Amino acid sequence: MNIKTIASSPYNDQKPGTSGLRKKVTIFQQRHYLANFVQSIFNSLDDCQGKCLVLGGDGRYYNREAIQIIIKIAAANGFHELIIGQGGLLSTPAASHLIRKNKAYGGLILSASHNPGGATEDFGIKYNISNGGPAPEKYTEDFFKHSLEISEYKIAEINDIDLDKLADFEIEGLKIRVIDPVTDYAQLMASIFDFDLLKQSISSNYITLCFDAMHAITGPYAKRILEEMLGAPVGTVINGEPLEDFGGGHPDPNLVHAKELAQLMFNDNAPVFAAASDGDGDRNMILGANIFVTPSDSLAIMVANSHYIPSFAKGINGVARSMPTSQAVDRVAAAYNLPCFETPTGWKFFGNLLDADKITICGEESFGSGSNHVREKDGLWAVLFWLNLIAKKRQSVIEIVHEHWQRFGRDIYSRHDYEAVDSNVANEIFKHLRQLLPTLKEKIFGDYAVDYADEFSYQDPIDNSISDQQGIRIGFKNGSRIVFRLSGTGTVGATLRIYLEKFVKDSSSHQQKPQQALAELIKLAEKFSEIKQRTGLLEPTVIT
Ligand code: VG1
Ligand code: CO
């Protein structure tokens, strides 16, 4: 194989965020930009000689071009085998599974997840390690370091490969397998859930459903699993064709961006169940007739009912949630005597706990949940979990949720995002909050007496690594919390997130509307952070 060495010089902005490197497509299209980053990853890893790499993405604009470039750089760096999803497609959880199943060295996943796609929108790339999970911080810091020092990259002089034909072939000693992106993942799902019961429940119309793939990666997965394997009527999956620009939409499954689905579910003719997933298939939004299940509640409910799912029937080891996720799951863990871990935002922090069998199920408030079956959050897994629960418990979504609140109380929850804020203003807001923290101790604001006010720092219980500055927390004696964080996935300016949570034990107050129930906390959040005042924004950009 002929290998060329191309001289290059560093870009200074290739620092991976919460989930890989995300930038505008136009940034990735700069000369040698993608090649530099990929070479930096390979330089940082131990020897790539003779190793296997999984490769695929969510199909967004620039996916195909990027894959062809990466194939050539991987070949030049000595990889011996490449496993690529047909059409260049792989959902994030499916890629994680393929890495594990094939004992690959790692994988490159091309996606900017829930960010919009298209020529002027976002692209992203993420490296996953051999456990199938996102590279932990010690890796991503090293990728960045290498990217600042890069002076050349290696590229093989081979032709573009045909990504559309399923095939196994060899190019001068390099094995390439273009595989069906869905088959292995679908088999994995069938091994976790009770597919016979689901088939019966769907064919008897006990469960009627709608799944919105938002023109992103889960279309082919959901069609195969829900329609072909489980027998749901054709048309159950809407927006099922992956498009390079996601049909102009924002592939973020929440009530704002999956509006069509929300309207369907708050209607007299609503089906029993509806769900949506994001750009790369790792998020989920769960809806029942006349109810939206917050992701934090969904996590708690899944844990509380996990024994109904065949693969968890023998029990689970423990649970984890990201820090800003509501404490609903903590209540379940306490009742079931399960260890419960609080990690920083981002799936990479669950990897060690899952590998060490400390936890079995984990999740985030940002529409993400998953288990030890892969090392990523998994949108369709959560959907199948809920369908399995409905079928087994013979209860509707609303009944399951209300029963849960009756038993454990309700953590009323909302997140307010302020997007595209000037980065200097955002940094000033955090500086101001840090200064405020020591003055808040023991202060009382109406019904809210401050219990603690700090900046979250995490020490990984397995490798003892420390991650500082993971969000500012103000906890109150009544269990309520306000958390402030800066997003690590945006591509324009800074995104400020405020997470609001109020615990209500008494079931007579469970039916409150979140924004009303949280009104006092929303006011306090502004009083502490001065976000509206300092940014000039009158309202959050997105409320979920
Ligand atoms: C957001 C979410 C976080 C999630 C991350 C990746 O990060 O808050 O919980 O893990 O996106 O999700 P941030 O830093 O913007 O708050 V996704 O579906 O990329 O893959
Ligand atoms: Co995602």
Q: Give distance in angstroms: CA of 329 to centre of ligand 1.
A: 19
| pTM over cut 0.85 | yes
Last residue of a domain, one of 181, 211, 229: 181
Q: Are residue 238 and residue 283 in the same domain, yes or no? A: yes
Structural domains counted in the chain: 3
pLDDT at 479: 92
- 3-class secondary structure, 180: coil
Atom 4 (ligand 1): residue with closest C-alpha?
346
Q: Are residue 233 and residue 367 in the same domain, yes or no? A: yes
pLDDT at 161: 95
Q: Tell me the residue ranges of DSSP E strands in 44-171.
A: 52-57, 81-89, 106-110, 122-128, 152-156, 167-171
Please state, in angstroms and rounded to a whole number, the distance separating the CA atoms of residues 165 and 354.
35
Range of the structural domain that residue 302 is part of: 184-408
Q: Are residue 150 and residue 136 in the same domain, yes or no? A: yes
Last residue of a domain, one of 181, 208, 229: 181
Q: Are residue 338 and residue 439 in the same domain, yes or no? A: no
Q: Using an 8 Å Cβ cutoff, are 128 and 375 in contact?
A: yes
Please state, in angstroms and rounded to a whole number, the distance separating the CA atoms of residues 129 and 115.
23
- How far, in Å, are 91, 177, 197, 261, 383 from residue 237 at the CA level? 16, 29, 20, 11, 13
Residues 192-220, buried b or exposed e (16+ Cβ, 10 A)?
bbbbeebeebbeeeebbbbbbbbbbbbbb
Q: Are residue 177 and residue 193 in the same domain, yes or no? A: no
Q: Using an 8 Å Cβ cutoff, are 153 and 73 in contact?
A: yes
Q: Are residue 223 and residue 354 in the same domain, yes or no? A: yes
Q: Using an 8 Å Cβ cutoff, are 503 and 327 in contact?
A: yes
pLDDT at 1: 87
Question: What is the identity of the amino acid at 364?
Answer: E
Residue the block writes with tokens 């949720």:
401
Q: Are residue 389 and residue 417 in the same domain, yes or no? A: no
Q: Give distance in angstroms: CA of 480 to centre of ligand 1.
A: 23
Q: Please report which helix (H) or strand (E) contains residue 486, including its range.
A: strand 481-486
∠38-42-44 over CA atoms, to 5°?
A: 115
Q: Are residue 279 and residue 154 in the same domain, yes or no? A: no
487 touches ligand 1 (CB under 6 Å):
yes
Please state, in angstroms and rounded to a whole number, the distance separating the CA atoms of residues 189 and 225.
9
Convert the pLDDT of each residue in 436-488 to its tens digit.
999 998 899 999 999 999 999 999 999 999 999 999 999 999 999 999 999 97
Q: Using an 8 Å Cβ cutoff, are 102 and 83 in contact?
A: yes
Q: Using an 8 Å Cβ cutoff, are 373 and 379 in contact?
A: no
Q: Please report which helix (H) or strand (E) contains residue 4, including its range.
A: strand 3-7
Identify the nearest ligand to the CA of 344 by its number. Answer: 1
Please state, in angstroms and rounded to a whole number, the distance separating the CA atoms of residues 302 and 307.
9
- Tokens read off for 494: 């800074």
Beta-bridged to residue 21, according to DSSP, are 125
Q: Please report which helix (H) or strand (E) contains residue 319, including its range.
A: strand 319-322
Q: Are residue 399 and residue 415 in the same domain, yes or no? A: no
Atom 16 (ligand 1): residue with closest C-alpha?
487
CA atoms within 13 A on the CB side of 423: 6
Please state, in angstroms and rounded to a whole number, the distance separating the CA atoms of residues 302 and 145.
40
369 touches ligand 1 (CB under 6 Å):
no
Beta-bridged to residue 291, according to DSSP, are 288
Q: Please report which helix (H) or strand (E) contains residue 301, including its range.
A: helix 295-304
Please state, in angstroms and rounded to a whole number, the distance separating the CA atoms of residues 91 and 388.
22
Please report, for the domain that includes residue 159, its CATH number. 3.40.120.10
Identify the nearest ligand to the CA of 364 by its number. Answer: 1
278 touches ligand 1 (CB under 6 Å):
yes
346 touches ligand 1 (CB under 6 Å):
yes
Written as one string, the DSSP assignment of 19-57 is TBEEEEHHHHTSTTHHHHHHHHHHHHSS--TT-EEEEEE
Residue the block writes with tokens 């940002």:
366
Q: Give distance in angstroms: CA of 459 to centre of ligand 1.
A: 20
Q: Using an 8 Å Cβ cutoff, are 73 and 65 in contact?
A: no
Length, in residues, of the chain: 544
Q: Are residue 207 and residue 283 in the same domain, yes or no? A: yes
Convert the pLDDT of each residue in 371-393 to its tens digit.
999 999 999 999 999 999 999 99
Active site amino acids: 113
Residue the block writes with tokens 């429940």:
201
Q: Are residue 394 and residue 439 in the same domain, yes or no? A: no
Q: Are residue 532 and residue 449 in the same domain, yes or no? A: yes
Q: Kindly report the number of other CB atoms within 10 A of residue 527's CB atom.
A: 11
Q: Give distance in angstroms: CA of 356 to centre of ligand 1.
A: 23
Last residue of a domain, one of 355, 374, 408: 408
Q: Please report which helix (H) or strand (E) contains residue 392, including its range.
A: helix 379-393
Identify the nearest ligand to the CA of 347 by its number. Answer: 1
Note down pLDDT in tens along the chain; length 544 residues. 899 999 999 999 999 998 899 999 999 999 999 999 999 999 999 889 999 999 999 999 999 999 999 999 999 999 999 999 999 999 999 999 999 999 999 999 999 999 999 999 999 999 999 999 999 999 999 999 999 999 999 999 999 999 999 999 999 989 999 999 999 999 999 999 999 999 999 999 999 999 999 999 999 999 999 999 999 999 999 999 999 999 998 999 988 888 889 999 999 999 999 999 999 999 999 999 999 999 999 999 999 999 999 999 999 999 999 999 999 999 999 999 999 999 999 999 999 999 999 999 999 999 999 999 999 999 999 999 999 999 999 999 999 999 999 999 999 999 999 999 999 999 999 999 999 999 998 899 999 999 999 999 999 999 999 999 999 999 999 999 999 999 978 778 899 999 999 999 988 887 889 999 999 999 999 999 999 999 988 899 989 9
